[in-house]
Amino acid sequence: MRSHPDRPKRAWVAYAWVAGVAWILPLVGFHVLHELLPDYNANGQCEGIGFGCTLTPADTVDLLRIITYPVLFVAGIVAMTWIAARRARSSRRR
């Protein structure tokens, strides 16, 4: 059985989707949120962590970014490995 002529050209599309959803979209989203949200507390509460202070909205986005990026990096690697394994398995069957 012959493969479709466009198949080699489109082999990277699944990887691009994973990279876009797991890495690029969060990168852009967190950056936009950090720029749009205020860097002060609206109620006049002190800024920071601890002693009754709270993070500003922009700093909260930075904290979420620090927590989320490692998880998204690993998730992207796992998803790309899964795609490669499925493709290797399907090409072995042919």
> From CA 50, how far away is CA 90, in angstroms rounded?
54
Give yes or no for a contact between 22 and 79, defined as CB atoms under 8 angstroms apart: yes
In a domain, 85, yes or no: yes
In a domain, 9, yes or no: no
Tens digit of pLDDT for each residue in 26-83? Answer: 999 999 999 999 988 888 778 878 787 888 899 999 999 999 999 999 999 999 999 9
In a domain, 69, yes or no: yes
pLDDT at 9: 61
pLDDT at 4: 58
Q: In the chain, how many domains are there?
A: 1
pLDDT at 5: 56
Residue 65 is part of which domain span?
24-93
In a domain, 29, yes or no: yes
List residues bridging with 49 in a β-sheet.
Answer: none
In a domain, 2, yes or no: no
In a domain, 44, yes or no: yes
